């Protein structure tokens, strides 16, 4: 066992983990942050996406020990009190989810992508989402949510 | 899925990493981004007793120009940092084009070029491009430091010339000749985006439109990425035309070994190799101004 310390959603958190524990295991099992989901567990579906030092990563495909000392943002870290993050608000308004299982990963990926590209085309959004799978929506409303979020985050909303 | 138990090591220097690799020779694996290795460990296809993480070493995290006008890419450099590099865009635009086709944003944020090369997945994109760019592979940790030519690096599926205590520390890409056009094109598995067949082509032409140099490499088709030397030889010295490209592409599968799996038969891959080679050569020649 080893101690891993991360700054998660702005708070220093330490947990005792096995070397083989994945980052997603530490977040869900040790820190009880269950908003990050395990979908495929084979790094295809993107449901486990979190930000590590600002970059979207699949937390099922790195060991907690590899993230030692890093800054992690999960879906729980986006809303400010009762005020949803603009990306979350956009998913709400555009009905960007049905079962909601893939949503945390979608939102975290878009968080990085919209910072890189604040005014994306629909095609760019679809390409960016290629590592995030949704089995309910057919993606249509997810793409609409992403474009809506980009629009409000540019201050045009 | 839970990997078999192992001990994780985060050495503070490359020297320490090599020391660990020698201490645990045969029982250790080096990890950088881990985008290939960690999924394989979760499936227990790979069960190292020791995992040595070089992905956190600042000394290996670089993409820079070399004195001779080429590019040096350290083992810690992610696909993302290559994607963003102006130096790579200027010297080897085909590499940027290739990297953009790897995995997805999340995978490119952590995955590394050197890691992909050392892993040598038969369907990886980068090996074809590294072959076509005449890349060299720089190692440490063996009896001596080695510089390995791309053509000698890839040996078989998941097999390179790297020894058990060697670390691939850097890939260098030489400056490409003037009037060279290049592209990487793949026919991808729709779900995984891995290459069923991927072709990297770099074509150099002179002022009269005669091909003076051709580099064509194929990934995904066989157990490891290889150069299509029969096509290269055919095109070199000939005036570049649709007919010459078609004839060169028809020779692309000569001497090549093909694999068969759920995504395609040997015949299918052989056919695709010729088709994708023709398309890649056509685009590379267009970019060369031929």
Is the Cβ of B119 closer than 8 Å to some Cβ of chain A?
no
- φ and ψ at residue A89, rounded to 5 degrees: -60, -40
Residue-wise pLDDT tens digits, B221-260: 999 999 999 999 999 999 999 999 999 999 999 999 999 9
Statement to judge: residues A53 and A120 lie in one domain:
no
Q: Which of A43, A77, A111 is at the close of a domain?
A: A77
pLDDT at B13 over 80: yes
Hey, what domains does chain B have and what are their CATH numbers?
7-53 (3.30.43.10), 58-173 (3.30.465.10), 180-288 (3.30.390.50)
Chain A residue closest to B32 (CA)? Answer: A66
Is A90 found in the same domain as A149?
yes
Judging contacts by C-beta atoms under 8 Å, the chain A residues touching residue B110 are 55, 57, 61-62
Q: Could you tell me which of B209, B210, B204, B202 has the C-alpha nearest to residue B182?
A: B202
The pLDDT of residue B193:
85
The strand pair at B211-219 and B195-205 is best described as antiparallel
The structure tokens listed for A13 are 């958190």
- DSSP secondary structure of A98-123: SS-SSHHHHHHHHHHHHHH-SS--HH
Out of A24, A48, A77, a domain closes at A77
Contact A43 B7 (CB under 8 A): no
Contact of A61 with A43, CB cutoff 8 Å: yes
The minimal CB distance from A113 to the residues B53, B105, B192 is found for: B105
CA distance A112 to A118: 10
Q: Is the ipTM of this complex over 0.90?
A: yes
Structure tokens at B178: 């003037």
Domain residue limits at A41 = 2-77
Mean pLDDT of chain B: 97
CB-based contacts of B76: which residues, under 8 Å, 6+ apart? Answer: B32, B54, B55, B56, B57, B58, B59, B60, B61, B62, B112
> Which distant-in-sequence residues (6+ apart) come within 8 Å of A6 by Cβ?
A12, A13, A14, A26, A64, A67, A68, A69, A70, A71, A72
Q: Are residues A8 and A45 in the same domain?
A: yes
Q: DSSP for B156-224?
A: ETTEES--TT-EEEEEEEPPPPTTEEEEEEEEE-TTT--EEEEEEEEEEE-TTSBEEEEEEEEESSSSS
3-state helix, strand, coil in chain B (%, to 5): 35, 25, 40
DSSP 8-state symbol, B183: E
Query: Given the structure tokens 């570049």, which residue do they identify?
Result: B240
Domain stop point among A18, A51, A77: A77
CB contact under 8 A, A19 and B107: no
CATH number of the domain residue A146 falls in: 1.10.150.120
Residues in B closer than 8 angstroms to A68, CB to CB, are 10
Please give the angle made by the CA atoms of A147, A148 and A151, to the nearest 5 degrees. 85
More confident residue, B193 or A48: A48
pLDDT, one tens digit per residue, over A21-64 is 999 999 999 999 999 999 999 889 999 999 999 999 999 999 99
Q: Please give the DSSP secondary-structure letter assigned to residue A80.
A: B
Which residues, listed in sequence order, are joined to residue A22 by a DSSP beta bridge?
A63
Same domain, A72 and A22: yes
CA atoms within 13 A on the CB side of B268: 11
Compute the distance between CA of residue B202 and CA of residue B254 in angstroms, rounded to an integer: 19
Interval B261-287: pLDDT, tens? 999 999 999 999 999 999 999 999 999
Give the pair of three-digit tokens for residue B50. Answer: 């020791």
The pLDDT assigned to B191 comes to: 77
Q: Look at phi and psi of residue A53 and say left if phi exceeds 0, alpha if psi is from -120 to 50, else beta.
A: left
Check if B255 contacts A (Cβ < 8 Å).
no
| Percentage of residues in chain B having pLDDT higher than 70 | 100
Predicted pLDDT of residue B192: 80
- Judged by CB atoms closer than 8 Å, whether chains meet at A65 and B8 is answered as yes
Number of domains in chain A: 2
Residues of chain A where predicted confidence (pLDDT) is lower than 50: none
Q: State whether residue B6 is helix, strand or coil.
A: coil
Exposure of B79 in the CB half-sphere (CA atoms within 13 A): 25
Length of chain A in residues, anyone?
157
pLDDT recorded at residue B1: 87
User: Residue B187 corresponds to which tokens in the numbers above?
Assistant: 């026919």
Mutate which of A40, A59, A61 to test chain B, going by most B C-beta atoms within 10 A?
A61
Residue A32: give its domain's CATH number. 3.10.20.30
Residues A69 and A121 in one domain: no
Same-domain status, A6 and A72: yes
Same domain for A91 and A71, yes or no, is no
Q: How confident is the model at residue B290 (pLDDT cuts 50, 70, 90)?
A: confident
Q: Are residues A141 and A114 in the same domain?
A: yes
Tell whether the model's pLDDT for residue B93 goes beyond 90: yes
């Amino acid at each position: 066992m080893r101690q891993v310390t991360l700054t998660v959603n702005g708070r220093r958190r330490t947990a005792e983990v096995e070397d083989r524990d994945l980052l997603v295991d530490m977040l869900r099992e040790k820190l009880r942050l269950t908003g990050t989901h395990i979908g495929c567990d084979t790094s295809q579906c993107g449901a486990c996406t979190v930000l590590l030092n600002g970059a979207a990563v699949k937390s099922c495909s790195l060991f907690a020990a590899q993230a030692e000392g890093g800054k992690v943002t999960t879906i729980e870290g986006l809303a400010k009190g009762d005020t949803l993050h603009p990306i979350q608000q956009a998913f709400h308004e555009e009905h960007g989810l049905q079962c909601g299982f893939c949503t945390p990963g979608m939102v975290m990926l878009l968080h990085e992508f919209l910072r890189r590209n604040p005014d994306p085309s629909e095609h760019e959004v679809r390409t960016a989402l290629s590592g995030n799978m949704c089995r309910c929506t057919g993606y249509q409303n997810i793409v609409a949510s992403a474009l809506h979020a980009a629009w409000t985050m540019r201050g045009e909303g | 899925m839970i990997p078999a138990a192992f001990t994780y090591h985060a050495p503070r220097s490359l020297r320490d990493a090599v020391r660990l690799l020698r201490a645990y020779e045969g029982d250790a694996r080096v990890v950088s981004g881990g985008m290939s290795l960690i999924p394989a460990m979760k499936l227990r296809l790979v069960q190292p007793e020791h995992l040595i993480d070089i992905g956190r070493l600042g000394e290996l995290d670089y993409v820079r120009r070399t004195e001779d006008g080429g590019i040096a890419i350290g083992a810690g450099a992610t696909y993302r940092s290559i994607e963003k590099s102006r130096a790579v865009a200027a010297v080897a635009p085909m590499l940027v084009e290739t990297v953009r086709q790897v995995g997805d944003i999340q995978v490119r944020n952590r995955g590394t070029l050197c890691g992909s090369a050392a892993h040598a997945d038969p369907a990886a994109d980068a090996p074809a491009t590294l072959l076509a760019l005449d890349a060299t592979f720089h190692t440490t940790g063996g009896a001596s430091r080695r510089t390995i030519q791309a053509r000698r690096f890839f040996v078989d599926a998941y097999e390179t010339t790297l020894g058990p205590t060697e670390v691939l520390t850097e890939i260098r890409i030489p400056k490409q000749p003037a009037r060279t056009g290049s592209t990487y094109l793949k026919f991808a598995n729709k779900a995984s985006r891995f290459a069923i067949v991927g072709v990297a082509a770099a074509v150099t032409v002179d002022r009269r439109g005669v091909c003076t140099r051709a580099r064509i490499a194929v990934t995904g088709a066989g157990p490891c990425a290889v150069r299509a030397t029969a096509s290269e030889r055919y095109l070199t010295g000939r005036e570049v035309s649709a007919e010459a490209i078609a004839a060169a592409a028809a020779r692309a599968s000569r001497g090549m070994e093909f694999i068969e799996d759920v995504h395609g038969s040997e015949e299918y891959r052989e056919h695709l190799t010729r088709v994708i080679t023709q398309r890649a050569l056509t685009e590379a020649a267009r970019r060369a101004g031929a």
